[in-house]
A = this chain, B = another copy of it.
Amino acid sequence: MHENFKELFEPESIAIIGASHDPKKIGHTILRNLVDGGYKGRVYPVNPSGGEILGKQVYTSIGEIEEEVDVVSLAIPARFCLDAVKECAANGVKYLQVVSSGFSEVGNHKEEREIVRIARESGMRVLGPNIFGMYSSKISMNLTFSASEIKPGGVAILTQSGALGIALIGRTAVDNMGLSTIVSTGNKSDLDEADLLEYLSDHDDTKVILMYIEGIKNGRKLLPVLKKTSLKKPVIVIKSGRSERGARAAASHTGSLAGLDAIFDSVIKQCGALRAENLEEAFNWCRFLSFSPEPSGRHTVIVTNGGGIGVLATDACEKYNIELFDDQSVLKEYFEDATPSFGSTRNPIDITGGAMADDYRAALTAPVDCPDIDSTLTLYCETAVFDSDNLVPMVRTTYEKHIEAQKPVAYAIVGGESVEKAIGQLNQENLPVFRDVEPAVSCMGALYRFTEFKNRARVETKTPAINMDEINAIIDKAIADGRSFLLANEAQDVMKVSGIQVPGSHIAKNLNSAVEAAESIGYPVVMKVVSRDIIHKSDAGGLALDLQSREEVIEAYEAIMKNCRAYDPDAHITGIEVTEMVTSGLEMVVGAIKDPAFGPVVMCGLGGIYVEVMKDVAFRSYPLNEEEARRMIREIRSHPLLFGVRGEKKKDIEGLVDTILKLGAILSSCDRITDIEINPIVVYEESAGLKALDVRILLKNSKED
């Protein structure tokens, strides 16, 4: 993990195995792109037929090259790859870029694994297979079979998809977006996103990173690198497979484990990544974030020459969580001069359709001069009175002043041919200007998210102190018993050990002790069958609620035993649990699971049937600090219920935070637990605590689905 991959991204020598004399072959294109791109290192075409290609001497084998080669690009049919890899390993090659396809993406896992095994034996690392190559602006290295001309700049592209990656690189040229690095990750047999991010994180030329992901193999490795990188520069992520059907298509296409998109979405945002909704949005963010200073506060103003688009921008600000500044005395002071009497100095500030370049200049100087304003959204509608020749210098000057003052500004300009011409011109000057209101506001929103992630208290995560020995002893017993789940009383014991409150309860082995337990706990009580063979208690008739008296307890005891014997005559019944009937509060669900890609993930949501129907749950990767857990809780749509609605008191949110962190700690400290769920957990008023009513703990090799 701690190699810095410098020799991969800035090799002094490159060999291309499969360099071809035939200009239609990929092996020829790679060599041509490398040579034409002006790569500054030494280039060795390798082809058994020898000769010369593009004026370069061709070597018949890697062994023939006299120096050690930093990077080998392998562009030969899959069936010849293994031998080539062996030769590279034998000759001290440092990095292998396997362009060839025909491996795990078509089910050929064996040979792919073999390539990696051989490579790693000699210390060689492998990029690919099934990639289109890589590019590095610093040394003018275009080692790809994609575009021949790539504009250098500040954006790094890391793509899992070859086809889309190549198309996106083409698009960067159209958008005049400069690139620092391109890496195609392909099948990720050895090097994956995490390794490459590790390099890009400290890469000075890279201002913004754009990742296209189809599936994550090792999320636990990715998350910390993603977080570390996002603290330095924006990481913009596009991931396909958002929908259930899309996820299935992605899984069959890449062979990666798709996992639940909601979990992916939560945990990468937790690590500061900015997930874009589509390609267009991702590109807009790249251009804007690689260019714009960061805001030092939340106060945004909208300056517009049209009331209509001012309102559209206001709508978009709500969508993208941008706070509009409202101190009318300040706004009036700074914008009065630029605003005619029939305009408005209320935010959105409407300098009206009569606004000339001078009015704009005055209005756009105000946010720069005003210490209370942190960022500006500027909107311009083409009008008959505004000479559009003024547009380019106006935008240019605004940007200059704002950048000097280190304040962000985003421009949306709507109009016809002359506006289009101005946008083209500004684009050439690398000044981002958008054709519609929404992309401009979306960019500002992304900038705020990036800045706020960095500014968040970098509180260390504290692991709650839990006596894992006691918990392990409970699990030992369950495993010795051949079970892959804990019985209700065992699960409750785990809660007690962890300091999570459960209702008073007792397991009665006979009627007398059930009655005694009920009398000692106090009515009303609840009774439940305890049996390793009966998981779904209510289906079996093994549950009785709200028992108000001794008589009702006796009746319920007999009914439960009868029902459960009828349900499964072979079931071993340990006893009947008599439990305190809990006073009502807000029913929530909290849980912790081991996600196949991301490892320990905690979850919370509104309890009961609503989890399933409303899907109103939030996820986070564990570990997390208390502030992040609070943020997670506020992500639940129904969270106002916790903060008190209709005069109800605020609930014990800190208790909920504590419970979430504890579940995460238990799960991540014990390899044998795969799943903990408390559903419901009753949350009482502030400081009044919570009660875990139903706790389910599953162990590895659970037979339950």
CB pair A280 B314 closer than 8 Å: no
CB pair A416 B174 closer than 8 Å: yes
CB pair A312 B240 closer than 8 Å: yes
Residues of B within 8 A of A243 (CB): 314-315, 317-319
CB pair B414 A242 closer than 8 Å: no
Residues of B within 8 A of A645 (CB): 609, 612-613
**Number of A interface residues, CB 8 Å?**
88
Given contacts A171-B416, A437-B279, A613-B641, whether A253 and B307 have CB atoms under 8 Å apart is yes
A616 to B315, CA, bound (A): 20
| A212 contacts partner chain B, Cβ-Cβ < 8 Å | yes
Q: In the complex, how many angstroms separate the beta carbon of A390 from the nearest chain B beta carbon?
A: 16
Q: In the complex, how many angstroms separate the beta carbon of A1 from the nearest chain B beta carbon?
A: 27
Residues of B within 8 A of A344 (CB): 252-253
Contact of A315 among B160, B242, B637 (CB under 8 A): B242
CB pair B253 A310 closer than 8 Å: yes
CB pair A246 B163 closer than 8 Å: no
Contact of A382 among B167, B311, B319 (CB under 8 A): B167
A651 to B86, CA, bound (A): 68
Contact of A163 among B26, B249, B280, B353 (CB under 8 A): B353
Q: In the complex, how many angstroms separate the beta carbon of A177 from the nearest chain B beta carbon?
A: 11
CB pair B646 A314 closer than 8 Å: no
Tell me if A's interface is mostly helix, strand, loop or mixed.
helix
| A272 contacts partner chain B, Cβ-Cβ < 8 Å | no
Residues of B within 8 A of A163 (CB): 305-309, 353, 381, 383
| A219 contacts partner chain B, Cβ-Cβ < 8 Å | no
A58 to B616, CA, bound (A): 69
Residues of B within 8 A of A677 (CB): none
Which residues 310-338 of A sit at the B interface, judged by CB distance below 8 A?
310-312, 314-319, 324
Query: Nearest CB to that of A280 among chain B residues?
Result: B436
CB pair B246 A311 closer than 8 Å: yes
Q: In the complex, how many angstroms separate the beta carbon of A584 from the nearest chain B beta carbon?
A: 13
A242 to B309, CA, bound (A): 12
Knowing that A167-B415, A253-B350 touch, tell me 11 more A-B residue pairs with CB under 8 angstroms. A164-B381, A167-B309, A170-B416, A171-B414, A171-B435, A173-B416, A243-B315, A243-B319, A246-B311, A279-B437, A613-B645
